[in-house]
Structures are given as structure tokens and as C-alpha cells.
């Protein structure tokens, strides 16, 4: 059984290393900048931006829902008595997620 799992890990590593050159040659230049912009690159960046924004919004919801359950924050109180650090983090994550999603629709 150990030998089989070792072979599977080696096959997965070789497969992962083999995929990199294929993906690297997808575009003409890796850092083409403005000169190398084409519609395929722009669509790819928009898709990445949409997923990143959705992920940030998901993280902000999780942070808000679990702020009282996380063992690092149980019994934690701010000295200033104002807004908690968790709520500020949720606001920052929500803002960043909204910006990323808005950028994906440009």
C-alpha cells in the first residue's frame, strides 16, 4: 500500500510539473504589458477579478458569522470601546471584494 501511494504521489508531481510549460506558452509574452494586450488576456483578468472578489466577500461573511465562536477572540474586547477589529476587517474585505467584482464588469 505504501508503494502504491508513493507511485501516485510521484505521478501527480510529474503531471503537475508537466503542466507548467504548457500554460506558460499560452500567451505570446508573459509580461507583454499594454503592447501585448489582447481580448483573451483581458477576459482572463476579468474572470480572475470576479472570482477573487467573490472569495473576499465569502471571507467577510465567514468572519462576521464566526466572530463570537473563534477561540482567539472569545473574551477579547477593545480598549477604546469603539468598533471591534473584526467589524473593521469585515468592512475592508467587503469593500475589496466589491471593488474586484466591479472591475470584472469594466
Domain ranges of the chain: 2-104
What confidence score (pLDDT) does residue 89 get? 81
pLDDT digits (tens, 9 = 90+) for 7-48: 888 888 777 666 555 555 555 555 555 555 677 778 888 888
Whether the Cβ atoms of residue 100 and residue 49 lie closer than 8 Å to each other: yes
Taking phi first (over 0 means left), then psi (-120 to 50 degrees means alpha), and beta for anything else, what does residue 16 get? alpha
Amino acid at each position: 500500500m505504501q508503494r502504491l501511494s508513493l507511485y501516485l504521489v510521484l505521478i501527480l508531481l510529474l503531471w503537475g510539473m508537466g503542466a507548467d510549460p504548457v500554460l506558460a506558452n499560452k500567451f505570446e509574452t508573459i509580461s507583454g504589458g499594454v503592447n501585448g494586450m489582447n481580448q483573451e488576456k483581458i477576459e482572463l483578468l476579468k474572470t480572475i477579478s470576479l472570482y477573487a472578489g467573490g472569495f473576499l466577500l465569502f471571507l467577510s461573511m465567514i468572519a462576521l458569522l464566526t466572530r463570537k465562536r473563534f477561540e482567539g477572540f472569545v473574551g477579547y474586547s477593545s480598549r477604546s470601546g469603539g468598533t471591534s477589529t473584526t467589524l473593521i476587517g469585515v468592512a475592508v474585505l467587503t469593500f475589496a471584494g466589491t471593488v474586484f467584482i466591479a472591475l470584472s464588469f469594466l
